[in-house]
Structure 1
Amino acid sequence: MPPNSKISDEHLSINVTDTDIPTPNRGGSLSWNNVTYSIDLKTKDDNGKPKSRTLLSDVSGEAKRGELVAIMGSSGAGKTTLLNCLSGRLGTGHLSGSVTLDGRPRNRKTWKKLVAFVEQDDQMYSNITVRETINYAARLRLSSSRYAKAEKASLTDDVIKSLRLSKAKDTYIGDGLTRGVSGGERKRTAIAQELVGNPEILFLDEPTSGLDSNSAYAVLENVKAEAIRTGRIVILTIHQPSNEILSLLSKVVLLAGGSTVFFGPVEDALTHFASLGYTCPARKNPADFFLDLLTIDEETHEEDTARVKKLQEAYRQLDQSNVPVTHPSEPKISMTVSLDALPGDSPEPAAGWSNNWFTEFLILFERAWLDVLRSKPVVIASFVRTAVLVILIGFAFWQLDKDQRGIQNRAGILFLWPINQVFVTIQPIVATFPLERVIMLRERSAGSYRVSSFYISKVLSQAIPAVFYSMLACVPLYWMIGLQHSAWKFFAWLLINALETTAAVALGFMVSSGVETVQMAMAVAPMIAVVFLLFGGNIINNGSLGWWFKWLHYVSPIGYAYRSFMQLEFRGLSLSCQPDEPCTPTGELVLQQQDLNGLSVWACAGILVALSTWWFLTGYVLLRKTSKPKMKVL
């Protein structure tokens, strides 16, 4: 941010003219001309070709530095579609026209470094503070070769001060379980983490949605001040702004049915509509007046449609005449802008990554690990769950006897425990990417990091606590149950537990990468776990399986853990017999009867490693496919 930039009054309602903002050689304005966008429908015409629907038709306009340009219109008018077209966030459909930055076409490779996009859903990590959220964005987006870590921290503090977040900087973002910042502070934090990357252009989708009037005004007042201070272009969509918010807007783009009905200052819009016979009542909010003009109601469809077409045609003629509309001079403000510090004067950003892979990984792992450690309800619940399982299972199977009844009891606990490990581990992990996909796509669209660094950081941040809780439970259980007192068998028990838990983590991430919603993840995960349970080697004897089912046994981590545990416990175990009961005197006979010989403990360990690797890699491929940012640049 320019160190010598200032605004005379941070609470001032700001309006500026074009002459107020110095225009650098590059990035002075964003222009769009005759932008048309259509999508193919599933239905087909008589010739068998897909029918199409036009969402935008010949839309033109311009946004200059320091301006707040608002796209307005009724629902379905094309507001968000136009915003996505200008920001380059469209991945499908047919797009034509031109969008230029200071008269030059956009460069697909560097465009994402020049723009920032604040979505309507301002999802962030709930257990990270405001300052940490902004600082992580700075560390990920700003080049390490140009900015030292201390400089990124200083930029973070500058943005916090500019958006008046100083009082909330050490407060968690919060969610339904964790108390956090207010709605206005949350929205300003979402904007701040985009501004800290020093973009040329800031796009905002419904930034006032869900906020009260005071918070909404405060958010846009801060954005306006920041736009003037840095000479940044700001384009936003907004539905029904208040009079106070309208006073902050430099220009409005009024859309109806995907076409422009007016582009220019609010005062000029009122003058233009009045010349057509539509005068805004004295006490009516102009924004409400605009929406009334542009909305097509079902009950008055023909009348409203005729009015909208009249407005579209009137603006088309006005636009073609190229006659400037005169409007009253607007008040200026006292400010100083350093041309050397303007983002538009900076060199063309590099098309590559801001950090090397390892730096990305360290930053992402630090953030993910903090989020895990600070999730107090989850941490407490995990410890309580572990303690309850140890107490219930440990005392239910306390010091098992080495007799014939002990065979069933041992087989029962040695099958129950790997089942528990899979179910307990996989359930929370499958929700990871569906919950964080919005964050990931937003950060990936900004070119913040590679998929691989993000994926591995998430895997490690979830695998470490999963294995930790597994070890915390299986150490006391081994001695409470009374399994064989052998050092190598005890450590082999720990190893197989860790490997099976890791396999469950890998399976969870594979499912999480391949589904879009939490509901879908929660439906798929138990189904897979039940299949692995069924073919785990205890319920159905593996030797009796047909070839069409046997392959399921080969991919069951429960089966390999169960086989390993049974071999560790029953090999070398002597069992007592009563005179009046069938007798299986040795553990080796038990293994033979249940068809659990063959693969050794170490072979099972190797297969668990192979399954984990396979599922981790599959998860990465799926995540890479589903997290590719949409980008269509004219």
Structure 2
Amino acid sequence: MVGPDYSLELCNIFHSGQVEPASCFQTLFGTIQTGLILKDVSLEVRAGEVLAVLGSKGSGKRALLEVISRRTHSPTRGQVLLDGSPITVSLFQRTCGYVSHHTELIPTLSVEQSIHYAAALSIGLQMSSYLKKSRVRQVLADLALSQIARWSISKLNTSEYRRVVIGTQLIKDPMVLLLDEPTVDLDPLTTYLIVSMLSNHVKRRNRIVVLTMEKPRSDVFPFLDRVTYLCLGDVVYTGPTRLMLEYFKAIGFPCPQLENPLMYYLCLSTVDRRSRERFIESNTQIVALVEKFKMEGGPYRKSSASVSNTLLLGSPEHNPTKSHKIPYSSFTKPGAFKVGFCLYQRLFSSTFCLNYGALCQLFIRLLAMPLFFTLIWFLFRNMQDYQRTFYSRNGLLFICLLSTYLISIVNTAYTFSMYRNYYYEESRQGLYAGPSFLFTYSLFSIPFTIISTFLASCIIFQVTKIRNSNDLFTFAMVLWGCYLLAEQQTIALMMVIKTSFVTIITNLYIFVIILVLGTGALRSYSSISEWLVYFSYICQTRYASAVLNRQMFGEGRLNNLPQEYSSNCSLMGFSSEHFGCRYPEGGAYLAERYTQGSADYSISEILDSHFNLIVTFVFPVSAAVLNCLLYLIPLPAFIKAKFRN
């Protein structure tokens, strides 16, 4: 149990990592340039205080937060202590919070729903639903979001969006809250508002807030209890903000009147790169400041923000005793079933709500495939039973399979990306694992896929003129199996590809190849190489097209079709000499498509509908299991960085 007068302390932190952006070739061949990012960083912040980490770009601010949160996998030396105990990944996830520089919320949810589900995923059963709702209302009020609680995320401006992101962490009441550039790209009034809100939360709840800033304004000075200046990983100063002026004045750098002290000393701690001479001069000065603070800055690093400004260099450490009214209390994490149910509820809420984004999502899930198949029906509606119908029906089946894959890919890439991006952030917080996320998403998606494929099958099946309801059911099942495989394969690709468009193009190329090889629609098995025939056995399209082709051409269908309305094939005979009268019945067409030139080759096993239908569903089930395994494997850092930045 952590006491009320706890502190966060960093002792002699050295951290190495990538110092320059790496190209694809450098990443693949392991030639990334690395170096020391943090160099002997020591600081302390206590309960009830706000610490601002200031520094220019590349100074190591974000790396410092990554080290505290234990999110970095690069070599790190030193200790990060919370109330005297080392911070582990599990301890940080249970008791602390992290607001990254760029967090993508689910755009179709409302402000209140976003904070509500953040609470439901992180707070266990010991808090009643009434208390959770009260906490949600309190956080909305603290962040000035009550008036827009029912607005969708997509309608918010930058300030409101940033406050909602902060609210998803404040709802958990973390002991330590880390914020990476929370005020970047915000106007002065909004910056003041956010920093004052964080300061008020810290004082009222007796918590710790550590935030990074690149361009601090003077009006936030009163809200910052402590400040740390970093320059290329070195500490120029860390300690109470009120004592900062006294320290720099004592070492010969007083702040001019009417100057913003935060910005003035930030410029003093920044290397000037405008010329070689200025670079050498400023770098020499910063090295001297770093060494000066290492020798004489110990009392400032340990001093409380409430110490009098009369503290002099070399005075002994002062650790005042504070009395806090609000003790620390932790919330247990909810169970796996509750997490899954909450994820399902969030998917339901984000889909069935009255805003433009949700309606578009609902439309593409339910009606995109039926409408596309209506267009196919319009193109094939006048198909008549002459000899050319063999080729027309073959093209119809090929287009149906291709359209099913295409619509599933586009649908998944459009709807899954928003949840995928949010999953990457929540999984780093330890809220749930990849299999839980995938299982819930697939379970929610299944009813939509069933309705969509069944409606599309009912539309296109009228063209075949087959009136057997069992055949309609089988036709719909085959298309559903193809839809599910494309969905799972798209999910697998989106684990490593961020852009939806690139995912669609990549996936479409894959399915076009397996359609050409597996269906036998464009080239029969007898006309392709033997190794390609064997390759087709690992393609779902081989088994799906076998079921559909048997429905369309097998079982005595399409017998003795005339060449056209004025020519009868029975007068000319069915032979290869008359191309227009090539097939006496559907079985002859199937034999040409699926045999490999052997006269005694039987196609009964190839066209076994029950076996082929089962194997058609083996592919999506296997892909779903493989996805669960893939989402458990830690991704390389350069892949995860695409989804964080």
- Tell me whether the two structures share a fold, i.e. TM-score over 0.5: yes
Quote the Cα distance in structure 2 between the aligned partners of 1:161 and 1:616.
42
Q: Which residues in structure 2 correspond to 1:262-281 (within 5 Å)? A: 262-281=237-256
Q: Which residues in structure 2 correspond to 1:243-392 (within 5 Å)? A: 243-298=218-273, 299=275, 300-320=278-298, 326-327=308-309, 339=325, 341-342=326-327, 344=328, 346=329, 354-374=333-353, 375-380=358-363, 385-386=368-369, 388-392=371-375
Q: 2:76 aligns with which of 83, 87, 95?
A: 95
Structure 2 portions without partners, runs of 5+: 312-321, 563-567, 573-579, 596-602, 641-645
> Deviation string for 1:279-302 (max 9, x for gaps)?
333222223212321221221210
1:202 corresponds to 2:177: yes
Counterpart for residue 242 of structure 1: 217
Quote the Cα distance in structure 2 between the aligned partners of 1:134 and 1:465.
27
Alpha-carbon distance, 1:609 to partner: 1.2
1:415 corresponds to 2:390: no
Q: 1:126 aligns with which of 107, 119, 123?
A: 107
1:574 alignment partner AA: L
1:39 alignment partner AA: G
1:157 corresponds to 2:137: yes
Counterpart for residue 54 of structure 1: 36
Q: Which residues in structure 2 correspond to 1:596-615 (within 5 Å)? A: 597=603, 598-615=606-623
Quote the Cα distance in structure 2 between the aligned partners of 1:515 and 1:114.
32
Counterpart for residue 17 of structure 1: none
1:35 alignment partner AA: I
> Deviation string for 1:365-411 (max 9, x for gaps)?
12123323442234345667446424421122115322211111111
The 1:619–1:85 alpha-carbon spacing in structure 2 relative to 1, beyond 3 Å, is same
Q: Contact conserved, 2:111 with 2:149, CA < 8 A, in 1?
A: yes
Alpha-carbon distance, 1:358 to partner: 2.2
2:557 alignment partner AA: L
Percent of aligned positions that are identical: 22
TM-score (norm 2): 0.84
Quote the Cα distance in structure 1 between the aligned partners of 2:371 and 2:92.
54
Structure 1 portions without partners, runs of 5+: 1-22, 175-179, 330-335
The 1:428–1:382 alpha-carbon spacing in structure 2 relative to 1, beyond 3 Å, is closer
Counterpart for residue 3 of structure 1: none
Quote the Cα distance in structure 2 between the aligned partners of 1:461 and 1:628.
29
Root-mean-square deviation over aligned CA pairs: 3.0
Q: Contact conserved, 1:357 with 1:450, CA < 8 A, in 2?
A: no
Q: Contact conserved, 1:513 with 1:626, CA < 8 A, in 2?
A: no
Q: Which residues in structure 2 correspond to 1:218-617 (within 5 Å)? A: 218-298=193-273, 299=275, 300-320=278-298, 326-327=308-309, 339=325, 341-342=326-327, 344=328, 346=329, 354-374=333-353, 375-380=358-363, 385-386=368-369, 388-430=371-413, 435-479=418-462, 481-518=463-500, 520-535=502-517, 536-571=519-554, 572-575=556-559, 576-577=561-562, 578=568, 579-580=571-572, 581-595=580-594, 597=603, 598-617=606-625
Counterpart for residue 68 of structure 2: 86
1:606 alignment partner AA: I
Q: Contact conserved, 2:97 with 2:169, CA < 8 A, in 1?
A: yes
Report the more deviating stretch, 272-281 or 406-415. Answer: 272-281
Question: Paired residues, what number?
Answer: 584
Report the more deviating stretch, 293-302 or 111-120. Answer: 293-302
Q: Contact conserved, 1:427 with 1:525, CA < 8 A, in 2?
A: no
Counterpart for residue 626 of structure 2: 618
Counterpart for residue 69 of structure 1: 51
Counterpart for residue 143 of structure 1: 124
2:281 alignment partner AA: E
2:231 alignment partner AA: A
The 1:263–1:390 alpha-carbon spacing in structure 2 relative to 1, beyond 3 Å, is same
Q: Contact conserved, 2:71 with 2:89, CA < 8 A, in 1?
A: no
> Deviation string for 1:299-341 (max 9, x for gaps)?
1210111111111111112125779685179xxxxxx9973x5
> Deviation string for 1:494-531 (max 9, x for gaps)?
22122221222122222223435545523421221121
Counterpart for residue 11 of structure 2: 33
2:15 alignment partner AA: Y
Q: Contact conserved, 2:106 with 2:418, CA < 8 A, in 1?
A: no
Counterpart for residue 599 of structure 2: none
1:56 alignment partner AA: L
Q: Contact conserved, 1:493 with 1:565, CA < 8 A, in 2?
A: yes
2:588 alignment partner AA: L
Alpha-carbon distance, 1:233 to partner: 0.6
The 1:491–1:460 alpha-carbon spacing in structure 2 relative to 1, beyond 3 Å, is same
Counterpart for residue 13 of structure 1: none
Report the more deviating stretch, 515-524 or 498-507. Answer: 515-524
Alpha-carbon distance, 1:477 to partner: 1.7
Quote the Cα distance in structure 2 between the aligned partners of 1:207 and 1:459.
34
The secondary structure found in structure 1 opposite 2:451 is helix
2:150 alignment partner AA: D
1:218 alignment partner AA: L
The secondary structure found in structure 1 opposite 2:297 is helix
TM-score (norm 1): 0.85
1:62 alignment partner AA: E
The secondary structure found in structure 2 opposite 1:126 is coil
1:400 alignment partner AA: M
The secondary structure found in structure 2 opposite 1:500 is helix
Quote the Cα distance in structure 2 between the aligned partners of 1:129 and 1:50.
42
